Amino acid sequence: MKFFRGKSDPKTVPKPNKKTIEHANRIKQYVDKQTSKLNEIEADDKTIQDGKQTEEKTDSPPAPAKQKKTSNAQASLEARIAKMNISEKQRLKILERFRRKEARRKSKGEKKKKQKKVTIEDFQTIKIIGRGAFGEVRVVRKRDDKAVYALKTMRKQDMIDKNQVAHIRAERNLLSAAESPWLVKLLFSFQDDIYLYLVMEYCAGGDLMTILMREDILTESQTRFYISELAEAIHSVHLLKFVHRDLKPDNVLISNQGHIKLSDFGLAKSFQSDDNVISQYQKQGSEIKEGADSTQKIKKVKKPYKRNRALMFSTVGTPDYIAPEVFSQKGYGEGVDWWSMGVILYECLVGYPPFYAEEPLQTCRKIVNYKRTLKIPQEAGLSREAKDLIYKLICTHKSRIGYAGITKHPFFAKCPWDKLETMTPPFIPELKNGVDTSNFDDFDAQQDLPEQHKKTEGAAQNKPFVGFTFVRPKAKKEKRSINNMFG
Which helix (H) or strand (E) segment is 156 a member of? helix 156-161
- What is the gyration radius of the CA atoms in the chain, in angstroms? 33
The number of angstroms, rounded, from the C-alpha of 180 to the middle of its chain's C-alpha atoms is: 9
What gap in Å lies between CA 441 and CA 324, rounded to an integer? 32
* Contacts for 279-287: CB closer than 8 Å, 24+ residues apart: 280/316, 281/319, 281/322, 281/327, 281/360, 281/361, 281/364, 282/326, 282/327, 282/329, 284/361, 284/364, 285/327, 285/328, 285/329, 287/361
CA angle 242, 243, 248 (to 5 degrees): 135
Is-contact 235 228, C-beta < 8 A?
A: no
φ and ψ of 458, to 5 deg: 85, -5
Which helix (H) or strand (E) segment is 135 a member of? strand 135-142
144 is catalytic: no
What gap in Å lies between CA 77 and CA 68, rounded to an integer? 14
Considering 45, 122, 192, 246, which one is annotated as catalytic? 246
φ and ψ of 417, to 5 deg: -60, -30
What amino acid positions are annotated as catalytic residues?
246
